[in-house]
Amino acid sequence: MSKTLVTGAAGMVGHALRQLNPDDAVFTNRGEVDLTDFAATRAYFQAVKPDRVVHLAALTGGLGSQIIHSGEYFRNNILINLNTLEAARLAGAKKLISFMSTCVFPDPAEYPLTEAQLHAGPPHPSNFGYAYAKRMLDVQSSAYRKEWGCHFIVTIPTNIYGPNDDFSLNGGHVIPSLIHRACLAKKNGEDLTVWGSGKPLREFILSDDVARLTLRALDEYDEDEPIIFSPGEEISIRELVEIVVDTMKFPNKVIWDTDKPDGQFRKPSDNSKIRRCFPDFKFTPLREGLAKTVAWFEENYPNVRQ
Ligand code: GFB
Protein backbone atom coordinates (compact mmCIF):
# COMPACT_ATOMS: atom_id res chain seq x y z
CA MET A 1 0.00 0.00 0.00
CA SER A 2 1.40 3.46 -0.80
CA LYS A 3 1.54 6.16 1.85
CA THR A 4 0.12 9.58 0.85
CA LEU A 5 1.13 12.73 2.73
CA VAL A 6 -1.27 15.69 2.51
CA THR A 7 0.22 19.10 3.38
CA GLY A 8 -2.06 22.01 4.30
CA ALA A 9 -4.63 19.45 5.39
CA ALA A 10 -6.47 21.84 7.71
CA GLY A 11 -7.77 23.79 4.71
CA MET A 12 -10.92 23.28 2.71
CA VAL A 13 -9.55 20.81 0.14
CA GLY A 14 -7.73 18.91 2.91
CA HIS A 15 -11.04 18.42 4.71
CA ALA A 16 -12.70 17.28 1.50
CA LEU A 17 -9.89 14.77 0.89
CA ARG A 18 -10.28 13.34 4.39
CA GLN A 19 -13.92 12.57 3.61
CA LEU A 20 -12.80 10.42 0.68
CA ASN A 21 -10.79 8.26 3.08
CA PRO A 22 -7.70 7.69 0.96
CA ASP A 23 -5.72 4.58 2.01
CA ASP A 24 -2.83 5.10 4.40
CA ALA A 25 -2.95 8.91 4.27
CA VAL A 26 -1.07 11.20 6.67
CA PHE A 27 -2.64 14.65 7.08
CA THR A 28 -0.40 17.45 8.27
CA ASN A 29 -0.75 21.18 8.80
CA ARG A 30 1.28 24.18 9.85
CA GLY A 31 0.97 23.40 13.58
CA GLU A 32 2.93 20.20 12.97
CA VAL A 33 5.62 21.33 10.54
CA ASP A 34 6.64 24.78 9.36
CA LEU A 35 7.14 24.36 5.62
CA THR A 36 8.89 27.73 5.34
CA ASP A 37 11.75 26.15 7.36
CA PHE A 38 13.78 23.79 5.18
CA ALA A 39 15.49 21.85 8.00
CA ALA A 40 12.15 21.14 9.67
CA THR A 41 10.49 20.22 6.37
CA ARG A 42 13.29 17.87 5.38
CA ALA A 43 13.28 16.14 8.80
CA TYR A 44 9.51 15.73 8.64
CA PHE A 45 9.55 14.17 5.16
CA GLN A 46 12.42 11.84 6.12
CA ALA A 47 10.39 10.66 9.13
CA VAL A 48 7.14 10.11 7.18
CA LYS A 49 8.76 8.80 3.96
CA PRO A 50 5.67 9.33 1.78
CA ASP A 51 5.28 7.54 -1.55
CA ARG A 52 2.90 10.23 -2.77
CA VAL A 53 2.36 13.85 -1.75
CA VAL A 54 -0.70 16.07 -2.14
CA HIS A 55 0.81 19.50 -1.61
CA LEU A 56 -2.05 21.81 -0.62
CA ALA A 57 -0.22 24.07 1.85
CA ALA A 58 -0.11 27.71 0.78
CA LEU A 59 -0.69 31.20 2.06
CA THR A 60 -3.94 32.12 0.31
CA GLY A 61 -6.39 34.99 0.50
CA GLY A 62 -8.96 36.97 -1.45
CA LEU A 63 -8.48 40.02 -3.59
CA GLY A 64 -8.50 42.55 -0.69
CA SER A 65 -5.75 40.82 1.24
CA GLN A 66 -3.66 40.04 -1.87
CA ILE A 67 -3.52 43.74 -2.81
CA ILE A 68 -2.13 44.74 0.61
CA HIS A 69 0.24 41.84 1.34
CA SER A 70 1.93 41.04 -1.98
CA GLY A 71 5.33 40.60 -0.30
CA GLU A 72 4.03 38.14 2.28
CA TYR A 73 2.20 36.10 -0.34
CA PHE A 74 5.33 35.96 -2.49
CA ARG A 75 7.81 35.08 0.27
CA ASN A 76 5.71 32.49 2.08
CA ASN A 77 4.57 30.65 -1.02
CA ILE A 78 8.04 30.56 -2.60
CA LEU A 79 9.53 29.10 0.60
CA ILE A 80 6.71 26.61 1.20
CA ASN A 81 6.91 25.26 -2.35
CA LEU A 82 10.68 25.25 -2.72
CA ASN A 83 11.11 23.36 0.57
CA THR A 84 8.24 20.93 0.10
CA LEU A 85 9.16 19.77 -3.38
CA GLU A 86 12.83 19.44 -2.46
CA ALA A 87 12.06 17.52 0.76
CA ALA A 88 9.71 15.23 -1.19
CA ARG A 89 12.41 14.54 -3.78
CA LEU A 90 15.04 13.81 -1.12
CA ALA A 91 12.63 11.51 0.74
CA GLY A 92 12.04 9.53 -2.47
CA ALA A 93 8.38 10.46 -3.09
CA LYS A 94 7.26 8.82 -6.33
CA LYS A 95 4.45 11.23 -7.17
CA LEU A 96 3.55 14.75 -6.04
CA ILE A 97 0.62 16.93 -7.00
CA SER A 98 0.61 20.68 -6.30
CA PHE A 99 -1.86 23.50 -6.82
CA MET A 100 -1.83 26.84 -8.56
CA SER A 101 -4.92 28.92 -9.39
CA THR A 102 -6.35 30.52 -12.52
CA CYS A 103 -5.35 33.94 -11.11
CA VAL A 104 -1.70 33.11 -11.89
CA PHE A 105 -2.30 33.35 -15.64
CA PRO A 106 -1.21 36.40 -17.64
CA ASP A 107 -3.55 39.36 -17.71
CA PRO A 108 -4.60 40.13 -20.36
CA ALA A 109 -4.54 36.69 -21.99
CA GLU A 110 -6.24 34.88 -24.79
CA TYR A 111 -9.51 33.35 -23.63
CA PRO A 112 -10.23 30.68 -22.74
CA LEU A 113 -7.06 30.23 -20.69
CA THR A 114 -5.10 27.17 -21.65
CA GLU A 115 -2.32 25.43 -19.76
CA ALA A 116 0.15 26.45 -22.49
CA GLN A 117 -0.36 30.19 -21.78
CA LEU A 118 0.79 30.07 -18.17
CA HIS A 119 4.07 31.97 -18.61
CA ALA A 120 3.05 34.07 -21.62
CA GLY A 121 2.95 37.45 -19.82
CA PRO A 122 2.78 39.13 -16.39
CA PRO A 123 -0.12 38.28 -14.05
CA HIS A 124 -2.80 40.77 -12.97
CA PRO A 125 -1.27 43.46 -10.69
CA SER A 126 -3.80 42.72 -7.90
CA ASN A 127 -2.07 39.42 -7.03
CA PHE A 128 1.32 39.44 -8.74
CA GLY A 129 3.32 38.38 -5.63
CA TYR A 130 1.17 35.29 -5.14
CA ALA A 131 0.95 34.55 -8.86
CA TYR A 132 4.68 34.64 -9.55
CA ALA A 133 5.38 32.47 -6.50
CA LYS A 134 2.76 29.94 -7.60
CA ARG A 135 4.05 29.88 -11.19
CA MET A 136 7.37 28.65 -9.80
CA LEU A 137 5.63 25.39 -8.81
CA ASP A 138 5.37 24.64 -12.49
CA VAL A 139 8.99 25.64 -13.13
CA GLN A 140 10.32 23.59 -10.19
CA SER A 141 8.22 20.51 -11.04
CA SER A 142 9.31 20.65 -14.65
CA ALA A 143 13.00 21.13 -13.80
CA TYR A 144 12.89 18.23 -11.31
CA ARG A 145 11.17 16.01 -13.87
CA LYS A 146 13.87 16.86 -16.40
CA GLU A 147 16.91 16.42 -14.16
CA TRP A 148 15.78 13.77 -11.67
CA GLY A 149 12.81 12.12 -13.36
CA CYS A 150 10.40 13.22 -10.58
CA HIS A 151 6.73 12.56 -11.35
CA PHE A 152 5.62 15.93 -9.99
CA ILE A 153 2.40 17.23 -11.53
CA VAL A 154 0.69 20.60 -11.20
CA THR A 155 -2.99 21.48 -11.30
CA ILE A 156 -4.68 24.83 -11.88
CA PRO A 157 -8.05 24.89 -10.14
CA THR A 158 -10.37 27.77 -10.78
CA ASN A 159 -11.83 29.61 -7.71
CA ILE A 160 -12.51 26.93 -5.05
CA TYR A 161 -15.32 27.16 -2.48
CA GLY A 162 -17.00 24.81 -0.04
CA PRO A 163 -17.38 23.74 3.60
CA ASN A 164 -14.38 24.48 5.87
CA ASP A 165 -13.37 27.53 3.81
CA ASP A 166 -11.89 30.64 5.44
CA PHE A 167 -14.97 32.75 6.21
CA SER A 168 -13.07 35.99 6.99
CA LEU A 169 -15.31 39.00 6.48
CA ASN A 170 -12.76 41.06 4.53
CA GLY A 171 -9.65 38.98 3.76
CA GLY A 172 -11.48 35.94 2.39
CA HIS A 173 -12.71 34.98 -1.07
CA VAL A 174 -16.05 36.18 -2.37
CA ILE A 175 -18.29 33.17 -1.54
CA PRO A 176 -17.28 32.61 2.11
CA SER A 177 -17.10 36.37 2.84
CA LEU A 178 -20.56 36.92 1.39
CA ILE A 179 -22.09 34.00 3.29
CA HIS A 180 -20.65 35.29 6.54
CA ARG A 181 -21.66 38.91 5.90
CA ALA A 182 -25.17 37.92 4.79
CA CYS A 183 -25.58 35.87 7.95
CA LEU A 184 -24.60 38.84 10.16
CA ALA A 185 -26.69 41.32 8.15
CA LYS A 186 -29.72 39.03 8.41
CA LYS A 187 -29.27 38.73 12.17
CA ASN A 188 -28.94 42.53 12.58
CA GLY A 189 -31.72 43.40 10.10
CA GLU A 190 -29.23 45.24 7.85
CA ASP A 191 -28.56 45.41 4.10
CA LEU A 192 -25.78 43.34 2.53
CA THR A 193 -22.80 45.26 1.14
CA VAL A 194 -21.04 43.58 -1.77
CA TRP A 195 -17.75 44.63 -3.32
CA GLY A 196 -17.36 46.11 -6.77
CA SER A 197 -19.71 46.40 -9.74
CA GLY A 198 -20.95 42.81 -9.87
CA LYS A 199 -19.83 42.65 -13.51
CA PRO A 200 -16.68 40.48 -13.20
CA LEU A 201 -17.06 36.87 -14.26
CA ARG A 202 -15.67 33.87 -12.42
CA GLU A 203 -15.71 30.08 -12.55
CA PHE A 204 -16.15 28.22 -9.28
CA ILE A 205 -15.38 24.64 -8.31
CA LEU A 206 -16.57 22.86 -5.17
CA SER A 207 -13.80 21.59 -2.84
CA ASP A 208 -15.27 18.03 -2.99
CA ASP A 209 -14.81 18.05 -6.76
CA VAL A 210 -11.20 19.24 -6.38
CA ALA A 211 -10.55 16.41 -3.90
CA ARG A 212 -12.02 13.76 -6.21
CA LEU A 213 -10.06 15.11 -9.19
CA THR A 214 -6.88 15.22 -7.10
CA LEU A 215 -7.02 11.49 -6.36
CA ARG A 216 -7.79 10.73 -10.01
CA ALA A 217 -4.88 12.87 -11.20
CA LEU A 218 -2.50 11.24 -8.70
CA ASP A 219 -3.37 7.85 -10.17
CA GLU A 220 -3.86 8.70 -13.81
CA TYR A 221 -2.14 11.96 -14.84
CA ASP A 222 1.61 12.27 -15.38
CA GLU A 223 2.33 15.05 -17.87
CA ASP A 224 4.87 17.85 -17.59
CA GLU A 225 2.22 20.44 -18.49
CA PRO A 226 -0.25 21.48 -15.74
CA ILE A 227 -3.91 20.45 -15.84
CA ILE A 228 -6.77 22.92 -15.31
CA PHE A 229 -9.51 21.84 -12.86
CA SER A 230 -12.63 23.72 -13.86
CA PRO A 231 -16.27 22.99 -14.70
CA GLY A 232 -15.78 25.56 -17.49
CA GLU A 233 -18.85 27.69 -16.70
CA GLU A 234 -18.62 31.41 -16.02
CA ILE A 235 -21.02 33.31 -13.80
CA SER A 236 -21.12 37.03 -13.02
CA ILE A 237 -20.63 38.16 -9.41
CA ARG A 238 -24.12 39.70 -9.66
CA GLU A 239 -25.69 36.33 -10.51
CA LEU A 240 -23.62 34.64 -7.82
CA VAL A 241 -24.88 37.10 -5.21
CA GLU A 242 -28.48 36.43 -6.32
CA ILE A 243 -28.00 32.69 -5.72
CA VAL A 244 -26.35 33.24 -2.32
CA VAL A 245 -29.12 35.63 -1.23
CA ASP A 246 -31.76 33.19 -2.46
CA THR A 247 -30.13 30.16 -0.79
CA MET A 248 -29.82 32.03 2.52
CA LYS A 249 -33.32 33.52 2.25
CA PHE A 250 -31.72 36.93 2.84
CA PRO A 251 -34.63 39.38 3.25
CA ASN A 252 -32.94 42.80 2.91
CA LYS A 253 -31.36 44.87 0.13
CA VAL A 254 -28.03 44.29 -1.63
CA ILE A 255 -25.79 47.38 -1.87
CA TRP A 256 -22.93 47.44 -4.41
CA ASP A 257 -19.85 49.22 -3.05
CA THR A 258 -18.07 50.34 -6.22
CA ASP A 259 -15.21 51.87 -4.18
CA LYS A 260 -14.11 48.28 -3.52
CA PRO A 261 -12.01 46.49 -6.18
CA ASP A 262 -13.41 44.31 -8.96
CA GLY A 263 -10.07 42.58 -9.58
CA GLN A 264 -9.59 40.82 -12.91
CA PHE A 265 -12.61 41.19 -15.18
CA ARG A 266 -12.65 37.53 -16.17
CA LYS A 267 -10.43 34.46 -16.42
CA PRO A 268 -12.40 31.77 -18.25
CA SER A 269 -10.47 28.55 -18.57
CA ASP A 270 -10.34 25.75 -21.11
CA ASN A 271 -11.18 22.49 -19.35
CA SER A 272 -10.79 20.28 -22.42
CA LYS A 273 -7.82 18.46 -20.91
CA ILE A 274 -9.86 17.31 -17.94
CA ARG A 275 -12.71 16.25 -20.20
CA ARG A 276 -10.22 14.26 -22.27
CA CYS A 277 -8.42 12.68 -19.29
CA PHE A 278 -11.50 12.00 -17.09
CA PRO A 279 -14.47 11.94 -19.48
CA ASP A 280 -16.80 10.37 -16.90
CA PHE A 281 -16.19 13.06 -14.25
CA LYS A 282 -19.32 14.92 -13.10
CA PHE A 283 -18.95 18.40 -11.60
CA THR A 284 -21.30 19.48 -8.81
CA PRO A 285 -23.69 22.22 -10.05
CA LEU A 286 -23.00 25.60 -8.39
CA ARG A 287 -26.44 25.87 -6.77
CA GLU A 288 -26.03 22.47 -5.16
CA GLY A 289 -22.49 23.26 -3.97
CA LEU A 290 -23.60 26.60 -2.54
CA ALA A 291 -26.52 24.99 -0.70
CA LYS A 292 -24.09 22.51 0.86
CA THR A 293 -21.65 25.30 1.81
CA VAL A 294 -24.36 27.50 3.36
CA ALA A 295 -25.78 24.53 5.30
CA TRP A 296 -22.30 23.69 6.62
CA PHE A 297 -21.70 27.33 7.62
CA GLU A 298 -25.04 27.64 9.42
CA GLU A 299 -24.43 24.39 11.28
CA ASN A 300 -20.89 25.29 12.35
CA TYR A 301 -21.09 29.05 12.95
CA PRO A 302 -19.34 30.63 14.91
CA ASN A 303 -16.79 27.79 14.97
CA VAL A 304 -15.56 28.43 11.45
CA ARG A 305 -12.16 29.63 10.21
CA GLN A 306 -12.18 33.42 9.88
O1 GFB B 1 -13.00 35.82 -4.40
P2 GFB B 1 -12.19 36.92 -4.93
O3 GFB B 1 -11.36 37.67 -3.96
O4 GFB B 1 -11.34 36.25 -6.06
O5 GFB B 1 -13.15 37.98 -5.67
P6 GFB B 1 -10.51 36.75 -7.33
C7 GFB B 1 -13.96 37.64 -6.76
C8 GFB B 1 -14.87 38.80 -7.18
O9 GFB B 1 -15.89 38.95 -6.20
C10 GFB B 1 -14.23 40.17 -7.37
C11 GFB B 1 -16.08 40.33 -5.91
O12 GFB B 1 -14.74 40.77 -8.55
C13 GFB B 1 -14.70 40.96 -6.15
O14 GFB B 1 -14.84 42.34 -6.41
N15 GFB B 1 -16.56 40.43 -4.51
C16 GFB B 1 -17.78 40.87 -4.13
C17 GFB B 1 -15.89 40.11 -3.41
N18 GFB B 1 -17.90 40.85 -2.79
C19 GFB B 1 -16.73 40.37 -2.31
C20 GFB B 1 -16.25 40.09 -0.99
O21 GFB B 1 -16.91 40.29 0.02
N22 GFB B 1 -15.00 39.57 -0.89
C23 GFB B 1 -14.22 39.32 -1.99
N24 GFB B 1 -12.98 38.79 -1.82
N25 GFB B 1 -14.65 39.60 -3.25
C26 GFB B 1 -8.49 35.90 -5.96
C27 GFB B 1 -7.01 36.17 -6.04
O28 GFB B 1 -9.01 36.72 -6.90
O29 GFB B 1 -8.79 34.58 -6.36
C30 GFB B 1 -6.24 35.13 -5.42
O31 GFB B 1 -6.74 37.45 -5.52
C32 GFB B 1 -6.73 33.71 -5.58
O33 GFB B 1 -4.92 35.25 -5.86
C34 GFB B 1 -8.23 33.57 -5.69
O35 GFB B 1 -6.13 33.09 -6.65
C36 GFB B 1 -8.68 32.23 -6.22
O37 GFB B 1 -10.80 35.75 -8.39
O38 GFB B 1 -10.77 38.18 -7.68
- For residue 116, give the CATH number of its domain: 3.40.50.720
Other CB atoms within 10 A of residue 303 CB: 7
Q: In tens digits, what is the pLDDT along the chain, a chain of 306 residues? A: 789 999 999 999 999 999 998 888 999 999 999 999 999 999 999 999 999 999 999 999 888 889 999 999 999 999 999 999 999 999 999 999 999 999 999 988 899 999 999 999 999 999 999 999 999 999 999 999 999 999 999 999 999 999 999 999 988 899 999 999 999 999 999 999 999 999 999 999 999 999 999 999 999 999 999 999 999 999 999 999 999 999 999 999 999 999 999 988 999 999 999 999 999 999 999 999 999 999 999 999 999 998
Q: Whose CA is nearest to atom 17 of ligand 1?
A: 174
Output DSSP code: residue 228. E
Q: Which helix (H) or strand (E) holds 285?
A: none
Is residue 186 included in any domain, yes or no? no
Is residue 291 included in any domain, yes or no? no
Is residue 303 included in any domain, yes or no? no
- Ligand 1-lining residues (CB < 6 angstroms): 62-64, 66, 101, 103, 126-127, 130, 159, 173-174, 177-178, 194-196, 200, 202, 237, 261-264
Integer Cα distance of 103 and 116 in angstroms: 15
Is residue 189 included in any domain, yes or no? no
284, burial (CB in 10 Å: exposed 0-12, middle 13-18, buried 19+): middle
Q: Whose CA is nearest to atom 18 of ligand 1?
A: 195
- What is the number of domains present in the chain? 1
Is residue 87 included in any domain, yes or no? yes
CA 198 to centroid of ligand 1, rounded, Å: 11
Is residue 18 included in any domain, yes or no? yes
Is residue 44 included in any domain, yes or no? yes
pLDDT tens readout for residues 157-194: 999 999 999 999 988 899 999 999 999 999 999 999 99
Is residue 116 included in any domain, yes or no? yes
Instruction: State the catalytic residues.
Output: 130
CA 255 to centroid of ligand 1, rounded, Å: 17
Determine the structural domain holding residue 138 and report its residue range. Answer: 4-164+203-233+267-284
